Chains A and B, each alone.
Chain A
Amino acid sequence: MTTTHLHSDQLVAYTGDGSRVVVWRSEPRSTPRGVVVLAGGFAQRMRHMGAIAAYLVANGALVYRFDPVRHPGLSDGNVGSFSLSALSDSLQAVRELAEKENPGETPVAVASSLAARAAVRLATRGSGFARLVLLVGVVDYRRTLAQALGTDYSTWTIDELPATITIEGQVCDPRAVWLDERDQRWGGAEETVIDLLSVRVPVINFVSVSDEWVDAEQVEGIFRLGAGGERYIVRLPEGQHRISANPVALRTLLRMLTTVALCPQDRIAEVVATQDDLPVIAEPGFDELVTLTVQERARERAEAHSSAARSSGAVI
């Protein structure tokens, strides 16, 4: 009965500084309809993106997902030194890997939460992505951090910062975050508008109206101002930042997300507007998704153990 149809090969991509980014590549059964680089938000590992990957692959996408460096998961570095640039560098490395493996194909980015901000930045560089599909995509990095931390540390001086900060249960060094925010100008809403003005490709953001991290009205304002190309907002009715908590809502969302990620570009507007008539898509079932969750958690654990064993062997 319950075998999962999603098979993933493990690959490695490298960031500019040589850090290892561990990647799971999942191929559809037939010739791919498109290439997708799938990026989770802060504290989301690639195994948490299994359901989205399963939907995309079931509908013909070749999907690359990854654990960023300096982040929980299988890649190099520790979350203690997390920065948005580390996430962005990881996304960039995986995009390059996907392009190298699929010459002539420009990948679509499907990026959740903080990873969305990184995807927008990468797309300003011209050859980035064919399309950005953002899931509760962060558009005001400073505000989101302030919401998550209860304090806007960007207004503090570096000497005033506490020894550690905790984001989504992960303990990080605020200096790494603070310096990266300043040096890379991730900034607030204005910086995103500036970035978006030079993003020519379509950007679709799925936003939740009751999200404490991302303000739906603010996204709309930023998308109107940052109209370097087609912009779309799909509002989710319920739930907070982590829409994945509600599988019944998630199902509607994933149908839509899968369709806008894979449809021809000239159909996006129609798909967003007439969602009632979404084409019938292949959907992974309940048992398959439960099996996938269980198998990928076990796989991550096994990989982490074997890589720990390898590195302790190297020391000896």
Chain B
Amino acid sequence: MTSLAPAGPLTTSDLPAVHELDALVFSEGSCFEFAEDQERDVRLRVIRDAVALHAERSPLYAGLVERRGFTVERLQDERDLPTVPVLPTSVFKRTLVTSDAGGQVVRTFLSSGTHGRLSLVPRDETTLQRLLGSVRVGLRLLDANEDTDADDAQIINLGPSRQQAGDIWFGYVMSLIEIISETGHYVVDGRLDLAGAAAHVARASRDVGRAFVVGPPVFVCALAAYLTERRISVDGSNITVITGGGWKSHAALDGPTFTRTAITALGLPDASCLRDAFNQVELNSVLMECAAGRKHAPPWLYPMTRNERLEPLSDGEPGLLSYLDPTAVSYPCFIVGDDLGRITPGRCPCGSGGRLVEITRRLDGPADAGCALKMQDRFDLGEASP
């Protein structure tokens, strides 16, 4: 690795190679531009390396791999990926799943909510850095990251600051949007400050730069209701709304109603200015919706569906959503969760790569529904409860 070449007073050496996965997660260009076969090859390689790592470092995952008689050498082709053993996310509620032996974990994150058991997910520096990398990659689908003029954008976060989010994953991930530009956080001490958020939105809509409103759909609805009730008119031609947190199980918040409400109240040009993002505490990558309304997995992530016996299903078949995410170092992120959905076969008409995930609904009952609803439980909605 180190080559020492003394020739006169010149000494040279090489820093160790960067893992292919990091080159991908932190690429400066868009990593959604791979040709399909190239994307498949890269994904297979980075996932194979990650499976090998966790099979070695996580006793719990090693046990699962052994029981299944699985070996990494089996992974020769993308079609082999469904054979990788996965952990039901309920396991994260019962035990601390970790691949960390050396005390590298900087924080253990919790799923949000007050009902039932919480998931515990330990993350180290590299895992967090890659999560942030995936946020940035996702934002490229919105043509927004800190390298563009978005540095002058205004961000209205209908969530807590990173400090206030603490170890609660959902608020923490949303707050990371502040990396791209100056951000106002409007959940303070557990209370959504609708007046503050509305004033910021109105101010931002008069500015020339872009503005982003970020938050769970229930809070965006609350903001829309507040603006409408107070007759605060907003010309949102420069506004993009990014929602996240899971919400389809909330009957009052079906997609078309939400879209209409938000477009009207915020003065958005069209539905492409509303983008939904998906993540859950056990998953270390973010899936962002493109202009065509599809959720793109970043190229390193392999999403798929499984039946109730956790057997793999083909693309297009509805089932439990399952992910192979190689970006986590401190825990094995090969999971099958509670959400129902399907993988849309083929490439997206928007031209970007990545597998396409359609999330139909959460499996859990209302008491354990999406993070956004839990946030609604946790936080006082203020004067404009939807």
A residues engaging B (CB < 8 A)?
A: 1-2, 220, 223-224, 227, 229-240, 242, 245-249, 251-253, 256, 269, 272-276, 285-287, 290-291, 293-294, 297-298, 301
Is B18 in contact with chain A by the CB < 8 A criterion?
yes
Pull 12 A–B residue pairs with CB atoms less than 8 Å apart, ordered by A: A224-B7, A227-B10, A232-B13, A233-B10, A237-B17, A246-B22, A247-B26, A252-B16, A272-B11, A273-B2, A287-B162, A297-B182
Q: Are B11 and A246 in contact (CB under 8 A)?
A: no
Q: Are A238 and B17 in contact (CB under 8 A)?
A: yes
Is B367 in contact with chain A by the CB < 8 A criterion?
no
The one of A223, A237, A290 that contacts B132, using a Cβ cutoff of 8 Å: A290
Q: How far is the CA of A57 from the CA of B245 in the complex (A)?
A: 39
B122-130, B218-226, B336-344, B349-357: which lies at the A interface?
B122-130
Q: Are A237 and B106 in contact (CB under 8 A)?
A: no
Quote the shortest CB–CB distance from B86 to chain A (angstroms).
Answer: 25
Chain B: interface residue count, which band?
A: 35 or more
Q: Are B11 and A273 in contact (CB under 8 A)?
A: yes
Q: Are B28 and A245 in contact (CB under 8 A)?
A: yes
Main secondary structure of the interface of B (DSSP, over half): mixed
Is B208 in contact with chain A by the CB < 8 A criterion?
no
A221, closest chain B residue (CB): B10
Q: How far is the CA of A247 from the CA of B125 in the complex (A)?
A: 10
Q: How far is the CA of A232 from the CA of B14 in the complex (A)?
A: 11
The one of B26, B107, B132, B182 that contacts A249, using a Cβ cutoff of 8 Å: B26
Q: Are A227 and B26 in contact (CB under 8 A)?
A: no
Is B179 in contact with chain A by the CB < 8 A criterion?
yes
Q: Are B22 and A248 in contact (CB under 8 A)?
A: yes
Binary per-residue interface labels of chain B (163-183) against chain A in the complex, 1 for a CB within 8 Å, 0 otherwise: 100100000000010110111
Total contacts A-B at CB 8 Å:
116
Quote the shortest CB–CB distance from B182 to chain A (angstroms).
Answer: 6
Q: Are B106 and A287 in contact (CB under 8 A)?
A: yes
The one of A227, A237, A242 that contacts B8, using a Cβ cutoff of 8 Å: A227
Q: Are A235 and B14 in contact (CB under 8 A)?
A: yes
Q: Are B2 and A229 in contact (CB under 8 A)?
A: no
Q: Are B10 and A231 in contact (CB under 8 A)?
A: yes
Q: Are A237 and B15 in contact (CB under 8 A)?
A: yes
Quote the shortest CB–CB distance from A270 to chain B (angstroms).
Answer: 10
Q: How far is the CA of A147 from the CA of B126 in the complex (A)?
A: 33
Known: A246-B18, A290-B176, A290-B179. Is A285-B13 also a contact (CB below 8 A)? no
Binary per-residue interface labels of chain B (223-237) against chain A in the complex, 1 for a CB within 8 Å, 0 otherwise: 000000000000000
- Which B residues touch A297, using CB under 8 A? 151, 181-182
Is B363 in contact with chain A by the CB < 8 A criterion?
no
Q: How far is the CA of A272 from the CA of B4 in the complex (A)?
A: 9
Most buried by B among A249, A256, A293: A249
- Which B residues touch A286, using CB under 8 A? 106, 125, 128-129, 132
7 new A-B contacts at CB < 8 Å, known A224-B7, A235-B14, A252-B15: A232-B11, A234-B15, A235-B13, A237-B18, A238-B18, A238-B23, A246-B22
Q: Are B26 and A293 in contact (CB under 8 A)?
A: no
- Chain B 191-230 residues near chain A, CB threshold 8 A: none
Is B9 in contact with chain A by the CB < 8 A criterion?
yes
A301, closest chain B residue (CB): B182
- Which A residues touch B151, using CB under 8 A? 297
A219, closest chain B residue (CB): B12
Q: How far is the CA of A232 from the CA of B9 in the complex (A)?
A: 8
Q: Are A234 and B12 in contact (CB under 8 A)?
A: yes
Is B1 in contact with chain A by the CB < 8 A criterion?
yes
Q: Are B14 and A237 in contact (CB under 8 A)?
A: yes
Q: Are A223 and B128 in contact (CB under 8 A)?
A: no
Q: How far is the CA of A252 from the CA of B1 in the complex (A)?
A: 14
Most buried by A among B13, B107, B181: B13
Q: Are B4 and A273 in contact (CB under 8 A)?
A: yes
The one of B1, B23, B163, B181 that contacts A246, using a Cβ cutoff of 8 Å: B23
Quote the shortest CB–CB distance from A152 to chain B (angstroms).
Answer: 24
- Chain B 12-58 residues near chain A, CB threshold 8 A: 12-19, 22-23, 26-28
Q: Are A236 and B15 in contact (CB under 8 A)?
A: yes
Q: Are A2 and B15 in contact (CB under 8 A)?
A: no
- Which B residues touch A291, using CB under 8 A? 162
Known: A290-B132, A290-B176. Is A248-B18 also a contact (CB below 8 A)? yes
- Which B residues touch A253, using CB under 8 A? 15
Known: A2-B162, A233-B10. Is A246-B17 also a contact (CB below 8 A)? no
